[in-house]
Chain A
Amino acid sequence: MRVTVIGVGTRHGGDAAGLAVVTALEARALPRSVALVRCERPLPDLLEALAGADAAIVVDAARSDHAARGARRVAPAELADVATTSSHGFGVARALALAEALGRAPARVELVAIEGEGDADVEAAARIVVELLASLTAAEG
């Protein structure tokens, strides 16, 4: 199974968290079938990154009314309540919807949101991604 882990964000402040997770994952031993990608823009970068994978894990900085900050998995249905930090309103939710409409979306898409910009938040998100990768591999087996 080809899995693409996509860190979304720009290089400034808390918005860089998704990119920092990719950097953290680069230091870990991951299966060869896992690709790590950095995306600065949901459109077109995320749309491109989603194409060709069997599954994708999208990691992005976010803000919401959720009581607990830090890193957590987000269901696609929750995206409406989570404002990802992106420019011009074309965020992760719309890029995923567009990929779906164009038939470019992988069969399975997992979302990890990070509310916070500390090293601990990035590490926590990286751990969630590693657990997701393990479950995806197990499901395949």
Chain B
Amino acid sequence: MAEPPGTRSARRIIRVGAIARVEGEGALHLVVESGRVTDLRLEIYEPPRFFEAFARGRRADELPDLMARICGICPVAYQMSAVHALESAWGVPVHPGVRALRRLYYAGEWIESHLLHMTFLAAPDFLGLDDGIEIARIHRAEVERALALRKIGNRILILLGGRSVNPVGVRIGGFHRLPTGAELQALADDLRRARGEALALLRWFASLPVPSRPQDVELVALRHPQEYPMNEGRVVSSQGLDVAADAFEDVFEETQVEHSTALRCRLRARGRYLVGPLARVSLNADRLSPAAAAAREELAHRFERPDPASSVFARGIEVVQAIDAALEAIVRFEPPSPRDASPPVSPRAAVGRAATEAPRGTLFVAVETDAEGIVQRLRIVPPTSQNQGQIEEDLRALAPSVLGLSDDRARRACEAAIRDYDPCISCATHFLTLTVERRPPRCA
């Protein structure tokens, strides 16, 4: 017979099954005995691995379009890491105007992705509601504000990517089409208005009962000499790591665990670490725009120690940052010539490595081509695989506190903790099923 929740001696198995879609299928398996976690497995299966095999034998100039198919929410990140790796391999110069447009393009993705997560995935956890639809009924103005901001991000993706789903505007060295001055000016006008709206939305989130779960974890992000990192920078950490991005294969290693077909990434020297908005905001606070820096200052108490639950604030700060970065890119934009926007490229037998900052964290890509420009090897290390170890550690620490909760509340608490990391599987975590098994302690 099942024992009631809260029975300290009970062996309790919390199984969160079918964390499905996007980057693959996954599940959470948690066993707590006498208040101690005896087994915890976050099982994630990532389709991006298949893309590494799909790409082999194909022309490298197909990669920007192929990579955009990996994710419906962060296609820009995959495109950007891939083109930077190829440009590094083939020695392709990138015009400053192209660089500015890439920053604008990436900002659009951050705006879209962060607002989707904040409003529709995270906010229900803070408000004790089931989903974003309920929030829309109760907090209509805030949802309308978030949707209007997201629309700007969507416009940027369409402007530079040709379409918002699986965008196709990127090529090695540049873009297939340059935006007109009028298009950029109209966008700049909307971005100027958006900054105040983004700050107002962040203040609303700051008024919500967001929990706190500080913990010791090494933070890893890119760092650029002048800018808040998006497309380039060195890989740095809160524990002194500081290496060139193309050295990532020397510093990080991917390992396989029995319960998952997904590789998981760890620092060779120290193991688990955290990438993403919280790491970026913490390691690059001095690179934020004045408005984003002021917003972070107001929330300084949330960033005194690494706290995954504070990630929602980091995302809100980065929405402001992305708006300012987009504006700056437009204001400083000097149009390249058509040749500079679509430079001729000469394939060579080489290896290129690059890292950019996806909305969810650092995204590493290594690509090797032969002299004809055919892909021989492709390696993708997405942020979700890098954060898996930390997510498990977080859940391990959280588990004893959910033991006394009902099955539904225990499931919700575990899901909310996973969602703090905004894994690409997070949209599916709303559909998790949970089975709980309570047993008396096993005989020694």
Contacts and interface: CB of A to CB of B under 8 A. Distances in A.
Contacts of A101: 133-134, 136-137, 140, 143
B21 interface: yes
A98 B133 CA distance: 5
A90 B427 contact: yes
B150 A44 contact: yes
A88 interface: yes
B154 interface: yes
B140 A102 contact: yes
Contact of B431 (A10, A89, A97): A89
B33 to A, nearest CB: 34
A90 to B, nearest CB: 7
Contact of B132 (A44, A45, A98): A98
Contacts of B154: 41, 44
Nearest to B134: A101
A40 interface: yes
Interface residues of B, number: 27
Contact of A88 (B21, B144, B163): B21
A11 to B, nearest CB: 8
Interface string A98-115: 100111000000000000
Q: Which 7 A-B pairs have the closest CB atoms?
A: A87-B72, A101-B136, A89-B427, A88-B427, A101-B137, A40-B165, A97-B133
B315 to A, nearest CB: 16
A16 B185 CA distance: 33
B430 A89 contact: yes
Contacts, number: 55
Given A88-B427, A90-B427, A102-B136, A40 B163 contact: yes
Contacts of A102: 136, 140, 143-144
B428 A89 contact: yes
Interface of A: 10, 12, 40-41, 43-45, 47-48, 87-90, 94, 97-98, 101-103
Given A88-B21, A88-B116, A89-B430, 20 more contacts: A10-B165, A12-B166, A41-B164, A41-B165, A43-B150, A44-B151, A45-B164, A47-B147, A87-B72, A87-B73, A87-B165, A88-B72, A88-B73, A88-B427, A89-B21, A89-B428, A94-B132, A98-B132, A98-B133, A98-B143
B170 to A, nearest CB: 17
B120 A90 contact: yes
A48 B144 CA distance: 12
A38 to B, nearest CB: 11
A interface SS class: helix
Contacts of B21: 88-89
A94 B121 CA distance: 13
B162 to A, nearest CB: 11
A131 to B, nearest CB: 30
A48 B154 CA distance: 12
A10 B430 contact: no
Counting chain B CB atoms within 10 Å of each CB, which of A10, A48, A102 scores highest? A102
Contacts of B202: none
Contacts of B116: 43, 88, 90
B22 interface: yes
A101 B140 CA distance: 8
Interface string B57-101: 000000000000000110000000000000000000000000000
B22 A10 contact: no
Contacts of A103: 140
Interface in B160-194: 163-166
A89 B219 CA distance: 30
24 contacts: A40-B163, A40-B165, A41-B165, A44-B147, A44-B150, A44-B151, A44-B154, A87-B22, A87-B72, A87-B165, A88-B21, A88-B72, A88-B427, A89-B427, A89-B430, A89-B431, A90-B116, A90-B427, A94-B131, A94-B132, A98-B136, A101-B134, A101-B140, A102-B140
